[in-house]
Amino acid sequence: MSDTKVHLEKIDDFRWRIPKGYKPGMKVEGIIYADEKILKDVHEDKALEQVANVAFLPGIVKYSLAMPDIHWGYGFPIGGVAATDIEAGGVVSPGGVGFDINCGVRLVKTDLRYEEIKDKIKELVYALFSDVPTGVGSKGDIRVSAKEEKEILIKGSKWAVEKGYGTLEDLECTEENGAISGADPAAVSERAYERGKAQSGTLGSGNHFLEVQVIDQLYDRDICDELGLDMGQIMLMIHSGSRGFGYQICDDYVRQMMPCLQKYNIHVPDRQLVSAPVNSPEAKEYLGAMRCAANYAWNNRQCLMHLARNVFERIFGMGWQKMGMHLIYDVAHNIAKIEKYVVDGREKSLCVHRKGATRAFPPGHPALPQKYKKIGQPVIIPGDMGRNSYLLVGTEKAAETFYSTCHGAGRVKSRTAATKTIRLDVLLKELESKGIIVKATGRGTIVEEAPQAYKDVNDVVDVVHNAGISKRVCRMRPLGVIKG
C-alpha cells in the first residue's frame, strides 16, 4: 500500500515498513503496526511523514515505531514510540512526550453487578458529574499550599495516600508506584506552578473522562480469575493527566531547547523535533521538570479515584472496600522513561519516548509488583464514549516495541472537523439508544469526542493482540460518562 508521499512495504498482516532510504538522513527504518483497514485512515494525515522524521533523531535505536492508533501530533505522531541510546548521544525530545505529560488511565474494579445497580446508573453518573470537577481550568476541592504543591511533584500519588485519599495498595498498582524518581521542582517555571496550583483532583477537558463501565466479554478466563473479574461486573475508568501544569512545562522546554539543535549539531527535518542529548544540562533540566508533571498527574488520578469512591459510597450506602473498589492498574501514555534493554547483545540504558503509547511489561519483569509477575502488566485501553474499552496485559513479544502498545482508539477527525460534521442532537439520541448517559461541562466537547471522530478501538486492539505485543483479557462497554 502506498500514497503520494510515503511508500510502505508490507512485513506481515500487522506490520508495515518505511524504508530507511525514504528520506536521506533517516538513521533507522519506520515500523507501523496496522492492518489494511486501519492504514486507510493513517494515510489521511501527515502521521507517516512524522514517523520518518523521528527516524532522524540522534542515537535512535532499531526503529521509529507507530502503534495502530497513530495520528498526527506535535513533532512525533500520537501513537509514536522511539528509544535512543544514551551512551551513544541519544536525545530526549519534548515532542516525543507531548503537552499533556503523563496523560494516562486507571481502571478500578468493583464487586457490584450490573443487574443489581442498573436502576441507579443515572443517579451515579449525575453524582459523579456533580462531585468531580471537570472542564477547562476547573479547580478542585482538594486544596494544596505552595509547600504541598512542591511535595506533590516529588511524592506523586503517595502525597494523596498520606492525606487519606487512598491506600498503599493503590500505590503498588500504579506505574512507578505513583512517583518517578528524579523530579526537580526547581526546573519548573512560575507560570507552570500558577497553572497547576488548584487543579489537583480535577478531570479537565477534551478527551479526558471518568466512565462507568460493565464487562461484556472475557477473552482470557485464567487472567480474569487472577484479577477477580467476571461478566456483568461494574468497572470505573479514569482518563486524565497533568492538566495546565504539564502543558506549560512542555511549552517552556520546546522554546528553551530550540538553541540545542545548533549547539549539539542536531539535524532534524522538523523543528518540532527539538531535542537535546540525554546527558546534557538542558535535557537533565527538562527530564527533571517532566518527572514533576508525571508525578502531578499520578497524584491527580489518585485524587480523582478518591472522589469517585466517595460518590459510590454515598449512592450505594456502603464503604468502598466492601464494594471491592480496588485499583487494577494506573499506567501513563505520554512519557519518556530511562529503561534497560539488550541491544545487539549488550545491555544498554535507553530513553524510551511513548507518546500516545502504553508501557506493556511482560510476566516476570522486575518492575512489576509481585501480584502481576505471573500475568504481566495490566494495559488499559480506553475506546470512545459510544464503543468499548479494553484490559490487556503485556507480553514478551513486546520487546520488539520496547515493551509498548497502543493507548486508545486514535482520532480520525480533528475536533474542528467533528464540530462541522456531527450534530449534537443526533449524537445524543444515538448514545441514548445504546443506554449510555453522558454529562459534560461543554456541549461542544460531546461533539468533539463523538465516536465518529475516532477509529474503532476494537480494530486497534485486534492489531496489537494479533501482532502479539499485548494480549486481550476482557472488554468493557460504557454505561455512563462524564467529560469536561
Closest by CA to 69, choosing from 473, 480, 461, 392, is 461
Q: Say whether 129 sits in a helix, a strand or coil.
A: helix
Neighbours of 223 (CB within 10 A): 21
Which distant-in-sequence residues (6+ apart) come within 8 Å of 265 by Cβ? none
CB 85 within 8 A of CB 279: no
DSSP line for 76-124: SPEEEEEEEEGGGT-EE-GGGT-SSTT-EEEEEEEEEEHHHHGGGHHHH
Q: Say whether 55 sits in a helix, a strand or coil.
A: coil
**Distance of alpha carbon 288 from alpha carbon 183, whole angstroms:** 4
Closest by CA to 457, choosing from 74, 67, 76, 81, is 67
CB 332 within 8 A of CB 280: no
**Distance of alpha carbon 395 from alpha carbon 404, whole angstroms:** 10
**Distance of alpha carbon 127 from alpha carbon 228, whole angstroms:** 27
| Grid cell in block for residue 436 | 449510555
**Distance of alpha carbon 73 from alpha carbon 232, whole angstroms:** 37
CB 223 within 8 A of CB 272: no
CB 245 within 8 A of CB 196: yes
CB 61 within 8 A of CB 84: yes
CB 116 within 8 A of CB 324: no
Closest by CA to 264, choosing from 57, 44, 3, is 57
Q: Which residues are catalytic?
A: 407
Return the bridge partners of 437, or none. 480
Helices (H), 178-324: 190-196, 221-227, 243-256, 258-263, 281-316
